[in-house]
Amino acid sequence: MADYASVIHDNADYLTDLDRQIGDADHGSNMERGMKAVSALSASDFTEANAYLKKAGMTLVSTVGGASGPLYGTFLLRFAAALPSGSEVSGAALGAAFRAGLEGIVQRGKASVGDKTMVDALTPAVDALDAAVASGASEAEALAAAAQACAEGRDATIPLVARKGRASYLGERSADHQDPGATSVTMLLESAARTLA
């Protein structure tokens, strides 16, 4: 989460610029505010990763405006609830936690693949993680595969016409723009691949 907070800080203007093209130009600033609040949490105050991530999710819900707070908050809350206790987490358990987080986003945002949202990036990422684990890949290899699939899903949002969120108001004019939420969730998977490996 510290790595992700740093990445969001460095890319806040970029995310806001993406959002300016098809949204309300606040994704970067909202995410930066939320991740700054998360990074202020002391991980040493928590005995389990799932307790820390639950608090991080609640922090995002309470500090991030727009749709991002509820969506990222729900992702972390569901992820934390599915994550087993203990310091050792298997690739399969990590995959189950990511899947639970994705399902939370889908339920909260009512979005599906093809709607030009973060779901377009996160769905192939979770599928790739599960497939890698099933094939015997290490956690590091599985996370790398997930991050790559997430980036490909992010790029695949560019030609899509948005069917959810503020971007959907633009209709056909939303095509040829990269979705900001798909971009920020790719950064999350890349942070996970970097730090959890």
Q: Would you identify the CATH topology of the domain 2-196?
A: 1.25.40
> Which residue carries 């590091």 as its tokens?
140
With contact defined as beta carbons under 8 Å apart, do 98 and 162 qualify? Answer: no
What is the pLDDT, as a whole number, of residue 179?
A: 96
Phi then psi for residue 83, to 5 deg, are -80, 125
- Neighbouring C-alpha atoms within 13 Å toward the C-beta of 114: 0
Phi then psi for residue 48, to 5 deg, are -130, 145
Task: Report d(CA 147, CA 48) in Å as an integer.
Answer: 25
* Count of other CB atoms within 10 angstroms of residue 32: 20
With contact defined as beta carbons under 8 Å apart, do 135 and 128 qualify? Answer: no
Task: Report d(CA 64, CA 35) in Å as an integer.
Answer: 9
Collect all residues with Cβ–Cβ distance below 8 Å to 134 and sequence separation of at least 6.
Answer: none
The tens place of each residue's pLDDT in the chain, 197 residues long, gives: 999 999 999 999 999 999 999 988 999 999 999 999 999 999 889 999 999 999 999 999 999 978 899 999 999 999 999 999 887 888 999 999 999 999 999 999 999 999 999 999 999 999 999 999 999 999 999 999 999 999 999 999 999 999 988 888 888 988 999 999 999 999 999 999 999 87
Task: Report d(CA 57, CA 62) in Å as an integer.
Answer: 9
* Count of other CB atoms within 10 angstroms of residue 172: 8
* Count of other CB atoms within 10 angstroms of residue 81: 15
* Count of other CB atoms within 10 angstroms of residue 152: 15
Task: Report d(CA 63, CA 105) in Å as an integer.
Answer: 18
Collect all residues with Cβ–Cβ distance below 8 Å to 170 and sequence separation of at least 6.
Answer: 22, 162
Q: What is residue 162's DSSP assignment?
A: P
